[in-house]
Amino acid sequence: MSTVSEPSSHAPGRGKTVGLFVTCLVDMFRPSVGFAAVKLLEDAGCRVVVPDVQTCCGQPAYNSGDRGDARAVARQVIAAFEGFDHVVVPSGSCGGMIAHHFPGLFDDDRPMRQRAEALAARTHELMSFLVDVLGVRRVAARCDATVTYHDSCSGLRELGIKAQPRTLLAGVAGLKLAEMTNPEVCCGFGGTFCVKYPDISNAMLIDKTADIAGTGADTLLAGDLGCLMNMAGKLQREGKAVRVRHAAEVLAGMGDLPAIGEPERTEAPVSDRARPRAHRRTSAGS
């Protein structure tokens, strides 16, 4: 698996400045997904900025009924990200939180609601941004694997992400797609759900890993790290030899990194694999 150099004759994102919302899980557990997103966006011609004040999108509070803290975190995200042409998130769940749920948090605060709506309109999940907004159809990557793709719930049902990852994956050299019987059924993650109701979550997860194993695929991909960690943890516990990665990693030619839950093979930090280019070392000036 390796990256082929991208012909930059057409760069649909040229002139666009994108704010990358890294997500708390990618920041903490899988930075390579963030660097993959940076690479994909830069390859498409975008200038990528990562605001320093971001932490989380607020879902833990929002989905636990804690509207006050959800609003406080949302205000922080809105303030940090409203200056960009687009905001891109390598997660349908966190992307859905900003693009679908933020405005409703400010029903009683008209100015904030307008700012939330403006941000929501410019916020996209990574793969849908590449395909739907920039019109990217093909990325220059190679990955010799048979993969199956899990449609994470929020991305699928809140943001309509279904064809976009498959469009991009179809262009990856060496990659074969083997669909599950029910790729759209929840994996049982659900944020805090999986620890509040571990036994129900487990029953859902067992159905999912059986479906994954039934495809014969050697690699499982999805666009949300929470779901991926959940499924990876179960596949490993069950001793099923399926490697689990974020789809962005494969699309960015980083499909040879240790998979989720696999031991590191090298001491080199993952950022070396997608070293920021010189022009990004200069100040963003915004």
In what order do the strands lie in the sheet containing 243-246?
173-177, 142-149, 219-222, 243-246
Task: Show contacts with another protein in window 208-247 (CB under 8 A).
Answer: 229-230, 232-234, 236-237
Shortest gap between Cβ of 76 and another protein (angstroms)?
A: 7
Which H helix or E strand runs over 253?
A: none
Question: Which of 73/131 has CB closer to another protein?
Answer: 73
Contact indicator for 261, 233 with CB cutoff of 8 Å: yes
Question: Which of 111/195 has CB closer to another protein?
Answer: 195
What is the distance between the alpha carbons of residues 139 and 173, in angstroms, rounded to a whole number?
9
Rule CB under 8 A: is residue 179 a binding residue for another protein?
Answer: no
Rule CB under 8 A: is residue 205 a binding residue for another protein?
Answer: yes
Applying CB under 8 A, the span of 8-16, 26-34, 115-123, 160-168 interacting with another protein comes to 26-34
Residue of 1, 24, 98, 222 interacting with another protein (CB under 8 A): 24
Rule CB under 8 A: is residue 194 a binding residue for another protein?
Answer: yes
Q: Which residue(s) pair with 176 in the sheet?
A: 146
In three-state secondary structure terms, 61 is: helix
Shortest gap between Cβ of 198 and another protein (angstroms)?
A: 4
Question: Which of 199/241 has CB closer to another protein?
Answer: 199
Rule CB under 8 A: is residue 189 a binding residue for another protein?
Answer: yes
Shortest gap between Cβ of 32 and another protein (angstroms)?
A: 6
Rule CB under 8 A: is residue 26 a binding residue for another protein?
Answer: yes
Applying CB under 8 A, the span of 7-15, 56-64, 128-136, 171-179 interacting with another protein comes to 56-64
What is the distance between the alpha carbons of residues 241 and 81, in angstroms, rounded to a whole number?
40
Rule CB under 8 A: is residue 275 a binding residue for another protein?
Answer: yes
The helix, strand and coil proportions of the chain, stated in percent and rounded to the nearest 5, come to 50, 15, 40
Residue of 4, 79, 118, 200 interacting with another protein (CB under 8 A): 200
Task: Show contacts with another protein in window 130-159 (CB under 8 A).
Answer: 153-154, 157-158
Task: Show contacts with another protein in window 253-272 (CB under 8 A).
Answer: 257-258, 260-264, 267-271
Question: Which of 117/171 has CB closer to another protein?
Answer: 117
Rule CB under 8 A: is residue 64 a binding residue for another protein?
Answer: yes
Question: Which of 171/191 has CB closer to another protein?
Answer: 191
Rule CB under 8 A: is residue 76 a binding residue for another protein?
Answer: yes
Q: How many residues does the chain have?
A: 286
Task: Show contacts with another protein in window 36-55 (CB under 8 A).
Answer: 38, 47-55
Instruction: Give 57's contacts (C-beta < 8 A, 6+ positions apart).
Output: 21, 23, 24, 73, 74, 77, 89, 94, 97, 98
Integer CA distances (angstroms), 87 to 13, 230, 249, in order: 13, 26, 19
For residue 136, which phi and psi values (nearest 5 degrees)?
Answer: -70, 135
Shortest gap between Cβ of 99 and another protein (angstroms)?
A: 14
Could you tell me which of 155, 150, 226 has the C-alpha nearest to residue 181? 150
Instruction: Give 188's contacts (C-beta < 8 A, 6+ positions apart).
Output: 194, 200, 201, 202, 203, 204, 205, 208, 230
